[in-house]
Structures are given as C-alpha cells and as structure tokens.
Structure 1
Amino acid sequence: MSFKYKFQKILSIKETEKQRALEAYQLTVKQFEEVAEKLYHYLKQKEDLESIQLQKLSVGLNVTEIKHHQTFITNLEKTISHFQNLVASARQNMLGQEAQLLEKNIEVKKYEKLKDKQQEDFQELVSAADNRLMDEISIQQYMNKES
C-alpha cells in the first residue's frame, strides 16, 4: 500500500502556474534593467556634456555654441524625463509580477504542506496497522506455545 496524494493534480497545476509567474517576473526584471540602463546612459551623457560645457566656458565659448549645447541638453532632458517615466512603469510592472509570483509560491507551499501532513498521517496509519499485526502475531505465537 503506497501513499497517493489526492490533490497531486492541483499541486502540479499550481507548480506550473508558479513557474509561469517566475518566468514573467524574470522577463519584467530584464525589461526594467534594460530601461534603467538606458536612463543611466542618458544621465551620464548629460553629465558629461555639462562638464564639457563648463570646461569650454572657462576657456571661452561663442554664443552659438552655447545655444547649441543648451538645445542639446534640453532635448536630452526630455529624453531623460521620458525614460524616467518608462523606468517607473517598468518598476510597477515588475512589482506587480513579483506580487503574483509571491502569491503563486504561497499557494504551492500550502499544497506541499498539506501533502506532507497527509503523508505523515498515512505513515502513522501504516505504522499503527503494522503494530496491530505484530501484536496479533505475538498473541497467536504465545497461544500456540501455551497449547
């Protein structure tokens, strides 16, 4: 007599759902990292450009070059603002997927814990049945020796 978990199919489905949630979460993390890296790149580019502009201003720079740099920096700030919004959106998406993954993980743990409990109960029943059988055999052997 072997143990058969009556909710095994449900557990398998929940594990599959958990795996899908994990894959979706990993995808959103990757997307977040990509957008965050682009934002970092643009922030670094702006910082470098401002540093170069300060160096050139100390040496001397004509008005058209200053205007050109300011226009470029303004466009870069718009791009940075756009990517900040994308990063915030990607972060929200990632946190939502993380919450779903956590929920799926909790569901799987519940079914695994239930399985462990039922398996323990089954082992106790088997052990009790074995003990009763051994007691009966002992009693029969004792009775056979007495006769």
Structure 2
Amino acid sequence: MEYSFKFSKILTIKEKEKEKALGEYNEAVKRFEKVAEKLYYFLKQKEDYEEMHKQKLRLGLPIQDIRYFQLFITNLERTISHYQQLVIQAREQMFLKQAKLAEVNIEVKKYEKMKENHEKAVREAIQAAENRWMDEVSIQQFVHRRNWVR
C-alpha cells in the first residue's frame, strides 16, 4: 500500500512560497544593511570634517574656507537626511518581509503537522489491520489444532 498525503501539492506550494519569502527577506536585509552602511559613512564623514574644522578654527582660518565648509556641511546634511529616509524605508520593508516570512512559515508548519498526523493515523490503521489479521490467524490455528487433537 502506497502512502499518499492528500495535501502534498499544497504543502509543496507552501514550501516554495516559504523559500521565496525567505529570499525576499534576505534581499531586504541586504538592502537595509547597504543603506545603513552608507548612512554611517556619511555621518562619520560629517563628524570627521567637523572635528577637522574645529582644529583649523583654533589655528585661524580664512572666511572663504569657513563658507566652503558651511556649504559642504549643508550638502552633507541633505545627503544624511536622504539616507536616513532610505534607512527608514528599508527597515520597514525588512519588517514587512519578516512578517510575511513568519506568516508563510506558520502555514507550512500547519500542513507539516497535518501530514505528521495523517502519517500517524495511517501507521495506526495499518498496525490495527495487522493485529486483526494476526488474531484471525491465531484463532484459525487454535481451532485447527483443537480439531486435530480430538
């Protein structure tokens, strides 16, 4: 007797959905990390330039250099603000993909549990049938011996 789980095709589809959701989640994590690293780079760059500018101010600095620095910092702040928004968006996407993955994973677990329960029921039914058959054989042997002994 060949075992057949009636929802095996659905389980296969759900497992493929899980793999796809896992891939999308991993992509979202990579995007988040990439954007966060760029944001960190620009924040670090701003910090370094501000420290360098403070040192130059102590030693004396022409007005033109101060204006260039202010312009540079303003542009850098715009870039930082842009990357902060990108980080927020990437984080939201990552959390959405994580929630989708969790949802699909729960569905797969449900079907796997149904499959386990079905396999257990099939094994128990086979065992019960074998036990009935063994009982029948034992009874026939007992009756046959009893008739032969007389």
TM bin (shorter chain): over 0.9
* Structure 2 Cα separation of the partners of residues 79 and 132 of structure 1: 78
Aligned length: 147
With the length of structure 1 as denominator, give the TM-score of the two structures: 0.98
Shift of the alpha carbon at 1:58?
1.2
2:23: which partner in 1?
Answer: 23
- Which consecutive residues of structure 1, in runs of 5 or more, have no partner in the other structure? none
- Which consecutive residues of structure 2, in runs of 5 or more, have no partner in the other structure? none
Question: Does residue 9 of structure 2 align to residue 9 of structure 1?
Answer: yes
* Structure 2 Cα separation of the partners of residues 117 and 6 of structure 1: 12
With the length of structure 2 as denominator, give the TM-score of the two structures: 0.96
2:78: which partner in 1?
Answer: 78
Cα shift readout 1:7-60 (whole Å, capped 9, x = no counterpart): 000000000111111111111111111111110110010000001001111111
* Structure 2 Cα separation of the partners of residues 25 and 107 of structure 1: 17
* Structure 1 Cα separation of the partners of residues 40 and 32 of structure 2: 12
Cα shift readout 1:56-115 (whole Å, capped 9, x = no counterpart): 111111111111111101110000000000000011111111111111100000000000
* Structure 2 Cα separation of the partners of residues 7 and 91 of structure 1: 36
Identical amino acids, percent of aligned pairs: 54
Shift of the alpha carbon at 1:2?
2.9
The residue type equivalent to 2:133 in the other structure is L
The residue type equivalent to 2:15 in the other structure is E
* Structure 2 Cα separation of the partners of residues 111 and 3 of structure 1: 16
